[in-house]
């Protein structure tokens, strides 16, 4: 009797366990064939354009605004090996004439070099010069003064200029880093959202239709991608991304969804609304739905933070004062460098020295300016493609 009672108790306990695990078992059952998509996905032409421009690219895209799309670099192990290789100094020095940063500084550097060249010629005429045979000649125009300045004012101002440039560069890098972290949060929480939808699908033992389940999860996945793709379009120049965005949205969403999203005043918000509706349609406990909706609140935060960075530069008076200070300092610097280069032939070595100093200091300011608006140098299309693949 004892063994018979024990067998009956064990059978009842097993039955209760099977009933309790039924929703989870259905949720993790092998998936049925996916519902066909509306159309084949369109590959964006703005996906990843890494590295320097190809030789056949027009000159306007090798520097300035045209070159920004080639700075959207995503590193893998191979790129990191090259990045820290022992020949990086030689490689970077060899490519100096192909640098888009230095090409952007051509006008400013030519201005300072022009001042230095004029100063060498002027002082040769008014103070005397040495010919190619080493013979010293008197001044041709002896009634005009030579143009020089003491080096002390530039020495005193150098720390102040350095602080301005350091703060400018750090502020711009901080903006780039913040934008990258926003997209990192998008990547992490899109994965989290779709993990929750897949694992928690089902509620209170209600029978689950495999086709309905597949369609519900497909909608969550597609609308998750649609949000980040709309956010990328929202933060990109219209002439670069509008056509690709429309084509991709129409190829993946239903016509009604695509038209509503494309015609919306604020497309990312429309995508979040559609995603909220898709989550609400999932058969699961409301507490779990609330946990999923927390991810949407984070998406709103990353979107709002990105809009803040795009619409609010470093205070313009700071940027303008730094640019004026730097340009004035470098324009007048040749006047102070004239005497220190007295041992060179007619002080001519001052000209390449001025060019070198100008490239270095203008380059720091140019780096800060290029980093200040981070979205057109971040590989946002690559992030969107990655999110779409992870959520599929």
How far are the Cα atoms of 210, 279, 335 from residue 254, in angstroms, in the given order?
21, 17, 69
**Phi and psi at residue 254, to the nearest 5°:** -70, 160
At 314 the pLDDT is 94
Looking at the predicted structure, is the pLDDT value of residue 208 above 60? yes
Q: Taking all residues of the chain, what is their mean pLDDT, rounded to a whole number? A: 85
Q: Which residues of 251-275 are buried (b: 16+ CB within 10 A; e: fewer)?
A: ebbeeebbebbbeeeebbbbbbbbb
Q: Find, among 127, 118, 119, 120, the residue nearest to 145 by Cα.
A: 127
The confidence score (pLDDT) of residue 258 equals 95
Q: Tens of pLDDT along 169-190?
A: 999 999 999 999 999 999 999 9
pLDDT band at 49 (very low <50, low <70, confident <90, very high): very low
**pLDDT of the residue at 265:** 95
Report pTM. Answer: 0.80
pLDDT tens for each residue of 225-279: 999 999 999 999 988 889 999 999 999 999 999 999 999 999 999 999 999 999 9
Instruction: Tell me how far apart the alpha carbons of residues 231 and 240 are, in angstroms, rounded to a whole number.
Output: 14
Does position 8 have pLDDT exceeding 90, yes or no? no
- Lowest average pLDDT, out of 58-72, 160-174, 283-297, goes to 58-72
- Chain segment 279-325, per-residue pLDDT in tens: 999 999 999 999 999 999 999 999 999 999 999 999 999 999 999 99
Query: How far apart are the C-alpha atoms of 351 and 283, rounded to whole Å?
Result: 75
Yes or no: say if 351 and 197 are a contact pair by the CB < 8 Å rule. Answer: no
The Cα 147–Cα 47 span in angstroms is 55
Distance of CA 86 to the CA centre of its chain: 27
Confirm if 32 and 211 have CB atoms less than 8 A apart.
Answer: yes
% of the chain beyond a pLDDT of 90: 66
Residues across the chain:
392
In the DSSP assignment, the letter for residue 136 is E
């Amino acid at each position: 009797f004892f063994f018979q009672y024990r067998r009956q108790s064990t059978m009842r306990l097993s039955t209760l366990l099977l009933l309790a695990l039924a929703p989870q078992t259905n949720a993790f059952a092998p998936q049925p064939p996916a519902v066909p998509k509306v159309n084949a996905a369109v590959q964006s032409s703005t996906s990843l354009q890494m590295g320097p421009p190809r030789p056949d690219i027009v000159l306007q895209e090798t520097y300035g605004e045209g070159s920004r799309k080639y700075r959207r670099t995503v590193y893998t192990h191979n790129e990191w090996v090259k990045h820290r290789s022992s020949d990086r100094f030689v490689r970077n020095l060899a490519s100096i004439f192909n640098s888009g940063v230095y090409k952007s500084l051509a006008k400013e550097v030519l201005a300072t070099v022009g001042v230095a060249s004029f100063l060498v010629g002027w002082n040769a005429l008014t103070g005397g010069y040495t010919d190619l045979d080493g013979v010293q000649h008197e001044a041709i125009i002896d009634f005009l003064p030579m143009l020089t300045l003491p080096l002390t004012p530039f020495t005193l101002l150098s720390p102040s200029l350095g602080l301005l440039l350091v703060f400018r560069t750090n502020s711009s890098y901080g903006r780039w880093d913040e934008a990258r972290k926003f997209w990192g949060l998008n990547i992490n929480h899109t994965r989290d959202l779709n993990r929750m939808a897949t694992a928690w699908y089902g509620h209170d033992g209600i029978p689950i239709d495999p086709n309905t389940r597949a369609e519900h999860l497909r909608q969550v996945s597609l609308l998750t991608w649609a949000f980040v793709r709309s956010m990328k379009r929202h933060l990109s120049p219209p002439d670069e991304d509008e056509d690709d965005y429309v084509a991709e949205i129409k190829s993946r969403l239903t016509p009604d969804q695509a038209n509503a999203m494309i015609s919306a005043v604020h497309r990312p918000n429309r995508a979040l609304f559609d995603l909220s509706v898709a989550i609400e349609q999932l058969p699961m406990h409301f507490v779990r739905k609330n946990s999923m909706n927390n991810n949407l609140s984070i998406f709103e935060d990353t979107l709002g933070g990105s809009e803040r960075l795009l619409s609010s530069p470093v205070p313009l008076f700071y940027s303008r004062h730094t640019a004026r200070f730097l340009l004035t300092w470098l324009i007048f610097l040749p006047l102070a460098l004239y005497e220190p280069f007295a041992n060179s032939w007619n002080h001519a070595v001052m000209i390449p020295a001025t060019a070198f100093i100008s490239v270095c200091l203008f380059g720091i300011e140019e780096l800060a300016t290029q980093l200040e608006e981070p979205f057109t140098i971040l590989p946002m299309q690559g992030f969107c493609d990655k999110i779409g693949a992870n959520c599929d």
